Chains A and B, each alone.
Chain A
Amino acid sequence: MNSVGEACTDLKREYDQCFNRWFAEKFLKGDRSGDPCTETFRKYQRCVQKAIKEKDIPIDGVEFMGPNKDNST
């Protein structure tokens, strides 16, 4: 899958590989022994956040799970 920032796709795939392994083998099994993907995540985020700003994608200002607060469940 491609990143929204064309230059970030390789970094994204590297991070995804690391995350998928950690998620299945550690996180879901309750292993809290730390995240081996911090560095690859940082590099990926630096790239993608820059691309988002350049493309003017309106991601700011929405709180996490924000829009659903008004809707009753």
Chain B
Amino acid sequence: MVKYYCCAGLLKSTWDQVCVAFWQRYPNPYSNHVLTEDIIFREVTPTNCLISRRLLTKTSRAPRWMERYLPKQMASSAYIIEDSIVDPKRRTMTTLTWNISHARLMSVEERCEYRINPENGGWTEIKREAWISSCVYGLTRAVQEFGLARFKTSVTKTMKGFEYVLAKMQGETPSRTLAETATERARETALAAKEKAKDLASHAQKKQYV
């Protein structure tokens, strides 16, 4: 039993720019969970398409209820493969991404097609499909729902990451939204206050024994 999901995305940059950005999207402020990135295969085919295989290591963020089902010695990072075909004649790029670790617990395959937006030649549309499945007895549905929810969050991060990298490439100063910056500042202030309070508390304790 496989959960299927499909969505469309739009980037307001040319297909060429998106393809160039595709190879430069890590690191970006939304990809802190991506630890390593490597091209492990690449070739130009006789029909002049570029085929590549990229290996990514990502932090494995399973919720606590799922972690019980992971063998203790299983790595806390997940390995993901991304295959891609860039066709400069047809102006299409197709990618297929899937995890090669933790696959029995949960397998997520994502297929994307990047094309020129038919209504605006300066934009790129992305058709995204995902197949989510799990082989854990009794937990399949829960794992798939979790997988789907997390996938949707990843898609948002992916698009934001792309927009960030594209803005940088085009010489614009990429700015995280004001709301995000404000939230982050608030978080930092709260953390600093917490640390200070801890410090003061431990100081007070020490003073007692002097």
Contacts and interface: CB of A to CB of B under 8 A. Distances in A.
Given A28-B16, A45-B40, A59 B111 contact: no
A20 B23 contact: yes
* Range class of the B interface residue count: 35 or more
B48 A32 contact: yes
A62 to B, nearest CB: 7
A31 to B, nearest CB: 10
Max chain A C-beta neighbours (<10 A), residue from B27, B85, B88: B88
Contacts of B34: 1
B109 A67 contact: yes
Interface of B: 2, 16, 19-20, 23-24, 26-27, 34-42, 44, 48, 50-51, 53, 55, 57, 79, 81, 83, 85-86, 88-89, 94, 96, 98, 100-101, 109, 111, 129, 131
Interface of A: 1-5, 8, 12, 15-16, 19-20, 23-24, 27-30, 32, 35, 41, 44-45, 48-49, 52, 57-59, 62, 64-68, 71, 73
